[in-house]
Amino acid sequence: ASSGIGLALCKRLLVEDDELHLCLACRNMSKAEAVRAALLASHPTAEVTVVQVDVSNLQSVFQASKELKQRFQRFDCIYLNAGIMPNPHLNIKALFSGLFSRNVIHMFSTAEGLLTQDDKITADGLQEVFETNVFGHFILIRELEPLLCHSDNPSQLIWTSSRNARKSNFSLEDFQHSKGKEPYSSSKYATDLLSVALNRNFNQQGLYSNVVCPGTALTNLTYGVLPPFIWTLLMPAILLMRFFANAFTLTPYNGTEALVWLFHQKPESLNPLIKYLSATTGFGRNYITTQKMDLDEDTAEKFYQKLLELEKHVRVTVQKTDN
């Protein structure tokens, strides 16, 4: 919540309702406290608290969950927004071949085929992108189930997915994507699968899950792909392209459009197989569009069961470490 989409979301949510109780989950507590102070200065009637959590470290997730269960009785909504794209490499050959094809707009809107990343193993023995973008969040949800499952008053999970989520980059046999070169795309497809499976398993208990894509917004993640000055040079072309493709939201504020819209919806009325997309017109107007996810519920359930198996393994490992 201390930068990018997360920070913009916090600001917009307090504009929508300045009596909210927001809990900011951040790795860096000094940044978190600075954001908290700024939000309270703008919205003094709100309640804003912080919790330290690093979703790429399971010990941190378990500790944060323990603190949250001590401090709160329920959560109405959790935004699962943390994500990394480590050491992205631009495929120059694919870029230039795509520039002169009819798929140029699609290529720039989704980055399909353009980006590969170098992944690594975390201290927990997991692939870093998978643990950060998917599994750390999953463990957090599992720990907070007692605060989320209330059939009389539904709770909602809102995942930040991506238009870059590709079925072709995901495999149930290698769901951590240890053998591939597009772990980010794989992790976002895994997010889509997990959201569908969570609905299948928890809707009757009052917990609902949805996924969004913020579009191409300039944040620390996109600055990892190309440095800021390159984005500045590209901006005239991107602004022109926005008349033909709605994915170029460009600012974190615009990117949160779908996340804020979902905040106002009754979660039980939403389609669990739909991805909600932040979109911006060439003239800068924000709106919501939708996309049917390219997946089937059987695969989603199989993936969910694999995560439960991995959860059992890591809990044993963590307990041994604690002892």
Catalytic center residues: 184
Query: In 3-state terms, the chain is what percent helix, strand and coil (to 5)?
Result: 50, 15, 35
Contact 278, 256 (CB under 8 A): yes
* Nearest of 186, 241, 196, 191 to residue 216 by alpha carbon: 241
Q: List strand residue ranges (DSSP E) for the chain, in order.
A: 21-26, 47-52, 77-80, 89-90, 115-116, 155-160, 207-213, 274-280, 286-292
Q: CB under 8 Å to 100, separation ≥6 — which residues?
A: none
Question: Which tokens belong to 84?
Answer: 């990394």
CA-CA-CA-CA torsion sign (232, 285, 279, 196): positive
Q: Which residues pair with 217 in a beta bridge?
A: 250
Cα 187 from Cα 190, distance rounded (Å): 5
Q: CB under 8 Å to 204, separation ≥6 — which residues?
A: 151
